[in-house]
Structure 1
Amino acid sequence: MAGRFVRSSKYRHIFGRATRKDQCYDTLRVSTNAWDTNLLKVNPQYLSVNWETGGGGAFAVLPLNEKGRLPERIPLFRGHTAVVLDTDWNPFNDSLITSGADDGKAILQILLWRVPEGFTLHTDAAEVEDIAPIGRLPGHPKKVGHVLFNPAAENVLASSSGDFTIKIWDIEAGAAKATLNVNEVIQSMSWSANGSLLVTTSRDKKLRIWDVRQERPVHEGAGHSGAKNSRAVWMGEHDRIATTGFSKMSDRQLALWDVRAAREPINGFKVLDSISGVCMPFWDQGTQCLYLAGKGDGNIRYFEYQNDKFEYLSEYKSGDPQRGVAFMPKRGINMHENEVVRAYKTVNDTYIEPISFIVPRRAEVFQDDIYPPTTGLSPAMSSSEWFAGKDALPPKIDMASLYEGEGMKELPADAGSAAKEPQTKAPEPVKKPEPAPKPAPEPKPTSPPVTTTGPRGNMKDQGASMAAVASKYVDDNEEDEEEAGGSSSFDEPKPKNVPSISISPAQAEPSPPAKQEPKDSKPVPVTTTASSGPVKNDVDSAVQPSLMKEIETIKELIAEQTRTITSQAEELSALKAEISSLKSKLG
């Protein structure tokens, strides 16, 4: 187990919680069209659903607070002549929505809608009136498969069509200002956080990153090699893109791309499993997590982005397969229950189930570490400014103000920006401290050798080594003494026939019996004293009495413990005798 560690993450134990059936949206007729979109879109007030209906295309808008069984007849948003393929909510106005359909008539391709004030599905009117569009954007000669609002500029919309083009619309002017020629069926598209770039995947298995206002790709290269659909999602304020797709062997894959060098994915393609359904990717900027919802299965797995890798966290598993999934914007989640993400999934094309992803904490106060500032309702620029070339991130809102019920407190666009925060590194495994290296053997002196005072490895040698370590911390004015040799309180008594050297700081002269050692050789530790007279061997007078005193103390402790053990043994014998007598009486 040495060297292993657990990766530090506050989202390591995040879990998905299903919703009771009576709190779902029941008795729906979700579209069964085979076109590959998410079927659902959600904002903090409404949920849009591609609707299965005859007599022209329609979609439904469900107020989030009207849960349970829907009435038999509800007001629909009608206006298309064929099935609705995709919808998208305006990020800066929760009442505005756009839709694209398989109409086949250019004048009816993209419609704009406004949810009426006080809109409800429950009405006492005898005739339920459908909602009519408030605007049209003609221009595509074939079906519109995807519609997507710009996340930073107001009233800028991208739409992909069966004519193999993507048009960029200025809704205020009611016209397309740019056209991207993909020349292939577009399978998915996603904006960068500042709305300047757009990433697309297409049937020709290529990943393209577009400079939208220049109407040209800044990158065009191979993506997933499988024949089935692939998806791409821009990872918020990072210069990174996540894609899902298939290998040539039809294994589901996940890949991470660097926008500045997108010729191949970072660390290659990661195989997920061998399930045949498309993976729908969703990026959450607040938690820095990527959620993958499988189309045709009931599972949602999630990964944390860290150190240019997707670290697997866990998986929400369900036996109810999903065809459509939508994720709530951050400002619409329930922070009082530590909910960090909420998803909505279709079940059997008849009802929609909310799934809450929760960080398990007991704290009953605002958790600022898991709720950084998030995008609000204010755009960074107008459509005219964006088409003129301006780039900016939209202002953010303080999540604490929403938690306290104070409304949306606006913050600068760079507040809590992940791009400015250092990436969290996984903790390094704790290593065992290495043993200190053994000291190198002392070089032999070239001039008269010095005789040691005892056999190698005795107590004197240990004391000498300890004295050498302690010499690192003595004052500078004592260095001269140490160079000539030193004594230790742990030294054994010296034999009387071995002379000692006495050195004085004032006059460093060797005593007559010994010769001075050369400066280039390391002296063997010998006894020193501050006086210039003969050195008295104080080991017997100082060290030995202290050692004897310690030995006497240890003997006293041993004697005391012996008496205690004897007393406890006697008590134990008495207890045994008493138990025996009780047994004999009972017997």
Structure 2
Amino acid sequence: MSPPTSIWLWPPERAASPPLAFPAPQVWQIPDYVPMRNITEPIVTLEGHSKRVGIITWHPTARNVLLSAGGDNLLILWNVGTGEMLLTLDDMHGDLIYNVCWNRTGSLLVTTCKDKHVRVIDPRKQQVVAENFEEPIALQEMDTSNGVLLPFYDPDSSIVYLCGKGDSSIRYFEITAEAPYVHYLSTYSSKEPQRGMGFMPKRGLDVSKCEIARFFKLHERKCEPIVMTVPRKSDLFQDDLYPDTPGPEPALEAAEWLAGKDAEPVLVSLRDGYVPLKNRELKVTRKNILDNKPPMGPRRSHSTCDANFSRPSLEDLLEEIRSLRQTVQAQEKRISDLENKLCKFTNGTA
């Protein structure tokens, strides 16, 4: 289960130690408060792959369990809370791993590979449960592009989004239990191709705007959000669009899952995230400026200089500004020291 204050970035912008032969996944913790300085050091570096890591995915129910897949055709499961390697799944893939996905409880995972095999794997038994299905239940021809497809499935709406790496479109389909199983919905197209794609968890969407999906499209030098919405005019919470969905709290500890225990994800309601339209309207109150009468007193020309505003008073003002600047700098240093101490307590190092 992904911690709400952590994100992943690699390769690192700056390494605290000599650079690795291949960039390793790193954990960067984003604090709940607004940081006063740039965050340059990761809290955990996961070293174990011999080639570049291209896939990472959090376990759906166990705390801090992460799976990574690299160009070495290797699957590694980590406990990022301790930085230790839990399991290594080797000799299962003879070629490059294209994608990895967990089932709902995290008891099994499925992989697609360049060797055109689909494998269902029990990671704790370290064995392939099923492989190379005979015939697909549905076949959908996309286009002639040879780019790798990045699938994102939303179980709440039964919609699968297909993003082609190097492509500039997102195609989405509804999945049903009856034939023909796959129903084409629409295509989102843009001018620039995507180098990668991220998917916002359901609990991060704006339910007031009937937002059902949000992607983060990776360009060469920027990350662009792409929002999918359902056009509805009702001001009520849309129960059919937002059933209870997996929340941020894990159902298991890493050790419990590794010992063989399974659990359903802990669900949360998105109703509290709904803000009725009438409460979100911008209200502007205009005052009649004629109601503010000017104070009575002698008039004077705007060009008349105040005799009291002389050079000594200006020097006093500048001196006060210098003193305030020194005070602010001292407080910034104190805040930075407190932040460092807080990070140590949070990481369990103090």
Give, in whole Å, the separation in 2 of the partners of 1:80 and 1:294.
36
Matched, 1:363 2:280: no
In the alignment, does 2:86 pair up with 1:177?
yes
The alpha-carbon deviation at position 171 of structure 1 amounts to: 3.4
Larger Rg: 1
Summarize the alignment of residues 212-291 of structure 1 with structure 2, pairs less than 5 Å apart: 212-221=123-132, 262-267=133-138, 269-291=139-161
Whole-angstrom CA distance in 2 between matches of 1:375 and 1:77? 35
Q: Is this contact kept in 2: 1:78–1:133, CA < 8 A? A: no
- Partners of 2:233 and 2:80 lie apart in 1 by 46
Deviation at 1:189, TM superposition (A): 1.2
In structure 1, distance between residues paired with 2:3 and 2:172:
21
How far apart in 2 are the matches of 1:117 and 1:322?
A: 30
**Equivalence for 1:296:** 166
Contact 1:158 1:166 in 2 (8 A): yes
SS in 2 for 1:273: coil
- Aligned 8 A contact 2:216 2:223 in 1: yes
- Which residue does the alignment assign to 1:167? 76
| Residue type at the aligned position of 2:191 | G
Identify the residue that residue 373 of structure 1 maps to in structure 2.
244
CA distance in 2: counterparts of 1:355 and 1:331, whole angstroms? 16
5+ residue gaps, structure 2: 277-350
The 8 Å contact of residues 7 and 27 in structure 2, kept in 1 or not, is answered as no
SS of the aligned residue for 1:401 comes to helix
Aligned to 1:140: 49
Structure 1 unaligned regions, length at least 5: 1-41, 51-56, 59-75, 83-102, 222-261, 406-587
Residue 172 to residue 319, structure 1, CA distance change in 2 (3 Å): closer
Cα 1:367–1:278 change in 2 (3 A) is same
Mapped to 1, the partners of 2:7 and 2:243 lie a distance apart of 25
TM-superposition CA deviations, 1:150-205 (whole Å, max 9, x none): 11111212122344321222334543232212243322211112111111122322
Counterpart check, 1:112 vs 2:52:
no
Task: Give the letter aligned to residue 207 of structure 1.
Answer: V
Paired residues of 2:163 and 2:197 also in contact (CA < 8 A): yes
Q: Does the 8 A contact of 1:43 with 1:329 survive in 2?
A: no
Inter-partner Cα distance in structure 1 for 2:57 and 2:18:
21
Aligned residues: 271
- For residues 45 and 385 of structure 1, what CA distance do their matches in structure 2 show? 23
Task: Indicate yes or no: 2:263 matched with 1:352.
Answer: no
Q: Scaled by the length of structure 1, what TM-score is found? A: 0.43
Q: Is the 8 A contact 1:152 1:380 kept in 2?
A: yes
Note if 1:324 corresponds to 2:196.
yes
Q: Distance in 2 between matches of 1:318 and 1:47?
A: 27
| Amino acid aligned to 1:367 | Q
1:433 corresponding residue in structure 2: none
Distance 1:305 1:81, change over 3 A: farther
* CA apart distance, 1:43: 9.8
Superposition pairs of residues 496-535 of structure 1, within 5 angstroms: none
Q: Does 1:131 align with 2:40?
A: yes
User: Residue in 2 aligned with 1:190?
Assistant: 101
Distance 2:99 2:236 in 1: 40
Q: Which residue of 1 aligns with 2:300?
A: none
Distance 2:218 2:48 in 1: 32
Residue of structure 1 in register with 2:66 after alignment: 157
Task: Work out whether residues 8 and 25 of structure 2, in 8 Å CA contact, stay in contact via their aligned partners in 1.
Answer: no
Provide the C-alpha distance between the structure 1 equivalents of 2:159 and 2:258, rounded to a whole number of angstroms.
Answer: 31
Structure 1 pair 77–115 and aligned structure 2 pair: CA distance change class (3 A): farther
> How far apart, in 2, do the equivalents of 1:355 and 1:366 lie?
22
Q: Which residue does the alignment assign to 1:552?
A: none
- State the alpha-carbon separation in 1 of the partners of residues 149 and 253 from structure 2: 34
Provide the rounded CA distance (Å) in 1 between the counterparts of 2:267 and 2:231. 26
Does the 8 Å contact 2:171/2:188 carry over to 1? yes
Partner of residue 23, structure 1:
none
Which secondary structure state, in structure 2, belongs to the residue aligned with residue 384 of structure 1?
A: helix
1:205 match: 116
Instruction: Return the alpha-carbon distance in structure 2 between the equivalents of residues 169 and 385 of structure 1.
Output: 14
| 2:265 aligned with 1:394 | yes
Render the CA deviation track for 1:26-69: whole Å, top value 9, x for unaligned: xxxxxxxxxxxxxxxx998898666xxxxxx32xxxxxxxxxxx
Q: Give me the whole-angstrom Cα distance separating, in 2, the residues matched to 1:47 and 1:173.
A: 16
Distance 1:325 1:146, change over 3 A: closer
User: What is the distance in 2 between the residues matched to 1:158 and 1:179?
Assistant: 10
Which one-letter code corresponds to 1:270 in the other structure? Answer: Q
Q: Distance in 2 between matches of 1:159 and 1:173?
A: 16
Which amino acid in the other structure matches residue 203 of structure 1?
K
Normalising to structure 2: TM-score of the pair?
0.69
Q: Is the 8 A contact 1:44 1:331 kept in 2?
A: no
- Give a deviation string over 1:456-497, Cα, whole Å, max 9, x none: xxxxxxxxxxxxxxxxxxxxxxxxxxxxxxxxxxxxxxxxxx
Structure 1 residues 323 and 81 mapped into 2: Cα distance closer, same or farther (>3 Å)?
farther
2:246 counterpart letter in structure 1 = T
